[in-house]
Amino acid sequence: MTSTPVSCIAVDDEPLALEVIRKFCERRGDLALEVFTDPAAALEAIRSRRPAIAFLDIEMDGIDGITLAASVPADTCIIFTTAYLDYAAEGFDLDAVDYLHKPFSYDRFLKAVARALRRLDYTRAAAAPRSIVVKQEYNNVTIPLDDILYVEAMEAYSKIYRRTGPCTISRVTLKNLGAMLPPDTFIRIHRSYIVPRARIASFNSQEVRLDSGHILPVGRSYAAAISARR
């Protein structure tokens, strides 16, 4: 599956400095970059688009990078880019991932991006649900995500097939149950089936074979999404 590009925003009042970051992002290949020379416009974009990474120059007209960083959403990784070393301590006080001293090399840029991606992976892993809770008759049942083989729709119910025990049948629609499952881990393959992505052993336009040996049908409208999973 082609990975989704990592969203990035860079702000610097020197267009040449932004061009360097743009070229480095294009060279790496998986970073989708927007650039701004106006710090106020950049801050508005960062707040609304919540990019994964923000490259912030420090010495700028209007809003300096340190002030701007204090208003960046907590889930955006900050990498400072500046020609001045005097601000390093302040930058790290703001939980910046890295501090690139201009002019920086492509290799140094890659190291900074790698640090940001490691932090993002850690944050996502920590935030990701490891189980779901569904109601079966009058009881709440906790189901670890890695125990789910697949889920089947049964009119207004969903039947959750499990690796380690009997099926769990809950009065929740497949659509609502799908909203409880992380989309990077589970995929809907048919109007009646949801499966864990990691358990797909093989597939074609008509069926999916799971690593458990189960063979499930593929809905016509879901085939493209399954093909794009790798």
pLDDT tens, position by position, 64-74: 788 888 888 88
Domain that includes residue 167, residue range: 131-227
The length of the chain is 230
Side chain identity at residue 201, one-letter code: A
- pLDDT tens track for 18-55: 999 999 999 999 999 999 999 999 999 998 889 999 99
The answer to whether residue 1 scores a pLDDT higher than 50 is no
Count of structural domains within the chain = 2
59 and 88 share a domain?
yes
Specify burial of residue 112 (Cβ count, 10 A radius: 0-12, 13-18, 19+): buried
Lowest average pLDDT, out of 2-11, 74-83, 166-175, goes to 2-11
Q: With both helix axes pointing from N to C terminus, report the angle between 15-28 and 106-127 in degrees, rounded to the nearest 10.
A: 70
**Which pTM was predicted?**
0.57
Give the whole-angstrom CA distance, residue 215 versus residue 203: 9
Give the whole-angstrom CA distance, residue 78 versus residue 67: 12
Pairwise pLDDT comparison (32 vs 82), residue with the higher score: 32
Residues 151, 216 contacting (CB under 8 angstroms):
no
Pairwise pLDDT comparison (26 vs 83), residue with the higher score: 26
Question: Which SS3 state, helix, strand or coil, does residue 224 take?
Answer: helix
The CATH number of residue 54's host domain is 3.40.50.2300
167 and 206 share a domain?
yes
For residue 48, how many other CB atoms are within 10 A of its CB?
Answer: 9
pLDDT > 90 fraction of the chain, expressed in percent and rounded: 63
205 and 146 share a domain?
yes
Structural domain contains residue 94: yes
Structural domain contains residue 1: no
| 118 secondary structure, DSSP code | H
| pLDDT mean over 144-173 | 94
Question: Which residue, 95, 127, 159, sits at the end of a domain?
Answer: 127
- pLDDT tens track for 186-230: 999 999 999 999 899 999 989 999 999 999 999 988 888 877 654
Task: State residue 2's pLDDT score.
Answer: 38
